[in-house]
């Protein structure tokens, strides 16, 4: 019985220590094939790059970055980008909630020949955690953020969380 309790205790301590930083979480889920761009760097150059939102439409409608183009994730088709005749050397920053789905979309863009593609480190959560503005579906400032899931919601430290609506 003592060994069982020790095993259970060890299991929960491993779980508790896992993913205790965003770096660890992103390293666990991403292969880091796309360079990250920081929130502060994106803020400084936001008017000179294309910003793609790789979250689902319901997430985007609750809030998104200014002038972000919704490209989605589950139903993303690279043709939706290539048919727009966006230059292959355009600077593109892709974001999602924390930076996992956006890496997948960024990899597809790279594979299609786009050469200046970046993944927003920490996604919209990090953007909001830094106190930067987000817009709702009416393009008005909002504090609400769709947290994607209860599990990911812990990475959003500020403002109103709109978990699964």
- Residues 129, 114 contacting (CB under 8 angstroms): no
| Given 26, 96, 117, 134, the catalytic residue | 96
| CB burial of residue 11 (10 Å; 0-12, 13-18, 19+) | exposed
**What span, in angstroms and rounded, lies between the C-alpha atoms of 165 and 20?**
26
Q: How wide is the angle at C-alpha 96 spanned by C-alphas 93 and 99, nearest 5°?
A: 80
**How far is residue 13 CA from its own chain's centroid?**
27
Strand-pair partners of 161:
145
User: Is 96 one of the catalytic residues?
Assistant: yes
Catalytic residue positions? 96
């Amino acid at each position: 019985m003592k060994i069982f309790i020790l095993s259970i205790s060890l299991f929960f301590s491993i779980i508790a220590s896992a993913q205790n930083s965003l770096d660890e979480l992103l390293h666990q889920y991403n292969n880091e094939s796309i360079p990250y761009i920081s929130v502060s760097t994106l803020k400084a150059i936001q008017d000179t790059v294309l910003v793609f939102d790789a979250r689902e439409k319901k997430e985007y409608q609750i809030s998104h970055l200014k002038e972000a183009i919704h490209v989605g994730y589950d139903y993303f088709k690279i043709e939706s980008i290539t048919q727009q005749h966006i230059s292959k050397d355009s600077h593109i920053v892709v974001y999602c909630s924390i930076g996992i789905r956006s890496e997948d979309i960024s990899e597809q863009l790279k594979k299609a020949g786009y050469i200046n593609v970046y993944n927003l480190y920490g996604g919209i959560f990090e953007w909001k955690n830094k106190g930067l503005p987000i817009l709702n579906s009416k393009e008005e400032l909002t504090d609400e953020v769709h947290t994607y899931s209860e599990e990911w919601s812990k990475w959003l430290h500020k403002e109103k969380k709109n978990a699964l609506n």
